[in-house]
Structures are given as C-alpha cells and as structure tokens.
Amino acid sequence: MAQTRDVEKQNKLRQINEIQTIINEQEKRLSSLQSNGFSLANFFLVFQGVILAAVANGSSVFTCLDCWLLIGVSALAVCPNLASLYLIGQEYIATITQRDASLDQRSTLKTELDSLQAPTSAGTSPQVQAQSSGAGTSTLQGRSSNKNGDSCRKRNRQFWFFICMACFVGVSVIMGAVSVRTLCSKVAVPKYPLKLNDKCVRFCQGSRCMRFCSEY
C-alpha cells in the first residue's frame, strides 16, 4: 500500500513538472506575441500620422484627386497590418486560454499530491474514505466551474479584442474622411491669369491670389 502511494506521488510530481514546463513555454509565447502586437500597433499609428501630416502640411500642393492616392497608399499598408494584428490577437487568446487550463490542471495535481502526502491511519479508514469521496466530488465541481470560468474569460477577451480592432479601423476611416474633407473642400482656383475686367487681372497659385489693375 505504501509503495503504491509512493508511485502515485512520483507520478504526480512528474506530471506537475511536465505541466510547469508547458506553462513556461506558453508564457514565453505570450510575451513574444504581445511584443509583436505592440510593434505592429505602433507602426500602424505612426504610418497613419505620417499620412495625416502630409495631408495637413501639403493641402496647398495636393489636389482632390491626390487624396484618393493617399487613401490608397494608406489602405495598402493598413490591410496587411490589420490582418496581422487579427491573427496575432487570435493566437494570443488561444495561447492564454491554454495557459489558464494548464494552471488549473497544475493546481488540481498539487491538490491530489497533498492528499496523497497526508498521513493515513488504518483505524480511521471510514473517515478517510468519506473525506476522499468528498474531495473527489469537490474536484469534479471545481473542474466544472473552471470550464465555465474559462469560457467566460475567453468571451471577454474576444469582446475587448474586437473593440481594439474597431478602434484601429476607426482611425483609418477618420484619416480618410479628414483627407477628403481637407483636400476636396477647397474651391478650385485656376493657376493661370484670370481676367476680371478690362483693367484688372488676377494671378492665382493654390489659395493665394494677387490682383493687378491698370490705371489706363
């Protein structure tokens, strides 16, 4: 009987060590995914800022037709960036869910190991059996509650992830709307001389105009 308990203890310790190794690998993967996600998010925001600055500072150079070129260039960079962020986010959620399951499994194994290490007595075997039965029931209830908790946490993570993705898409939409409004709302002014009357001529370049009038 004692040998059986020792074998069970060794098996539990081996399983705990294996799960701990898996948890460490999952932690490293989560850290890598988090770093890649932040890098992509920073690149996305910086690129959108560069396009917006070009529109604001070059409003007298770019035309309404040019704004669609800027929006197209922005879309070519945004689409793969958002796709990469989506894939990284989904992998992050899957990995952190697996990490939580591994932590729960390790906690369960430690509880079982503690019960094996507890001293037993032959004279109190009915009480031990009752405690063992109660511990088994509580373990099953704990596993059921852990599954429900994992499902709830996963839904919450998916919700906040899609909120973040919607914010990134919103930044792109706002940038496009500002570009169109800034570059296409200007009144078109000809760059060639515009004759106002017989004595005055107006020269315009962009939004700046000069008027020349003859006295004779």
Domain boundaries along the sequence of the chain: 2-117+132-185, 188-216
Quick count: other Cβ atoms within 10 Å of Cβ 36?
Answer: 15
**Which amino acid makes up residue 143?**
R
| pLDDT at position 141 | 56
pTM confidence score: 0.69
Alpha helices in the chain (DSSP H): 2-57, 64-117, 125-184
Q: Is the dihedral of CA 130, 131, 133, 137 positive or negative?
A: positive
Q: What is the predicted pLDDT for the residue at 17?
A: 92
pLDDT at position 22: 95
Q: What is the pLDDT along the chain (216 residues), one digit of tens a residue?
A: 567 877 888 888 999 999 999 999 999 999 999 999 999 999 998 988 888 888 777 666 677 777 788 888 888 888 899 999 999 999 999 999 999 999 999 999 888 888 887 765 544 444 444 444 454 455 555 555 666 767 888 889 999 999 999 999 998 888 888 888 887 765 444 444 444 455 666 666 655 667 667 665
Give residue 17's identity as a one-letter amino acid code.
Answer: N
Q: How far apart are CA 57 and CA 93, in angstroms?
A: 41
Helix (H, G, I), strand (E, B) or coil at 120: coil
